[in-house]
Amino acid sequence: MIKVGVIGAGSWGTALAIQLDSVGQDVTVWSIIEDEIKFLNEKREHIEKLPGVKISEKIKFTTDLEETCRDKDMIVLAVPSVFTRKTAASMKEFVRYGQLIVSVAKGIEESTLMTLEEVIKEELPQAEVAVLCGPSHAEEVGRALPTAVVAGSRKKSVAEFVQSAFMGDKFRVYTSPDVLGMEIGSSLKNVIALAAGMADGLGCGDNTKAALITRGIAEITRLAVAMGACPETLQGLTGIGDLIVTCASVHSRNRKAGYLMGQGKTMKEATEEVQMVVEGVYSAKAALLLAKKYDVDMPIVEAVNKVLFEDHPVKEAVNELMIRDGRIEHNHLKFPME
């Protein structure tokens, strides 16, 4: 048994706490929202975000950040990406040298273009930072449906520690040293999922969804490789795997927000209706800025940004993608004959 602090009592933090408890870990969950903690302690169910999922009495819920961080073998940082920096900074006095922090949010910081691992390292330089991501909706992890994810760290021993801490008979964990590729894939898939949702909202079919997924992973891979990531990572769970589940699932808040925009709602109206943080909205600008910085062609990302921030009609954005100049699918392939 290891002692784990989970920072963030939303759907994902709660689902991971349930998973950790199920494999015998000692789990304490923190939230800054007093009413949320009181409700979870009393009802032992996150009725709004994980309805029907019962929470073990062994899991402790608290608003005491120090209690959640001090003397823990592992701290899981599960707040939305837009709150990662502020939350990490507030943890600083309670985090010891060599403390393991596992980032489980997905996003790129718009103002700095830093990955969340980089943000956490900047705020908590004394800590050892790992990431955990992959195709894993909280609603299904909480219900113990079979799921596979990846634990990423530049140190093999750290990745394997995270792997062993989470691994269970319904929750399989692989390891990877390519933290950058994992984070780029897991963050930018939310932007492509917005596009997939928009297409669904317009009434487009499976052909359109398949095109967006495959061309979307091509865009993400081009950028990730330009930044120094391994292309194989984007063909795995944290690339194409995460993209498929986020573009297709009814649980996906990014797909749902895109769907509502495809039906005519504004970005503000759509995100308000979803009632949870839509990470793709925050990652879209960062993705476009990274594309420009690394001189990478990302037409789907460009189209999503135009819809989100320039009031560009969704139908026109889809049409513009379809009438782009013809080109070869894979630039490195050569025709043997003219």
Q: Which helix (H) or strand (E) holds 12?
A: helix 11-22
Which one-letter amino acid corresponds to residue 192?
I
Instruction: Starting at the earlier edge strand, list the strands of the sheet with 74-77.
Output: 60-62, 26-30, 3-7, 74-77, 100-103, 128-133, 147-152, 171-176
Residues annotated as part of the active site: 189
- Specify the pairing of strand 147-152 against strand 128-133: antiparallel
- Closest by alpha carbon to 81, among 21, 28, 131? 131
DSSP string, 266-334: -HHHHHHHH-S--HHHHHHHHHHHHHHHTT---HHHHHHHHHHHS---HHHHHHHHHTSPP--S-TT--
> For 313, how many CA atoms within 13 A lie in the half-sphere containing its CB?
5
Per-residue burial over 260-272, b = 16 or more CB atoms within 10 Å of its CB, e = otherwise? bbbeebebeebbe
Q: What are phi and psi of 61, to 5 degrees?
A: -115, 135
Instruction: Find the helix or strand (DSSP H, E) in which 36 lies.
Output: helix 34-43
* Cα 232 from Cα 225, distance rounded (Å): 10
C-alpha 34/C-alpha 322 separation (Å) is: 49
User: DSSP string of 76-111?
Assistant: EE-S-GGGHHHHHHHHGGGPPTT-EEEE----B-TT
Dihedral angle sign, alpha carbons of residues 164, 166, 168, 172: negative
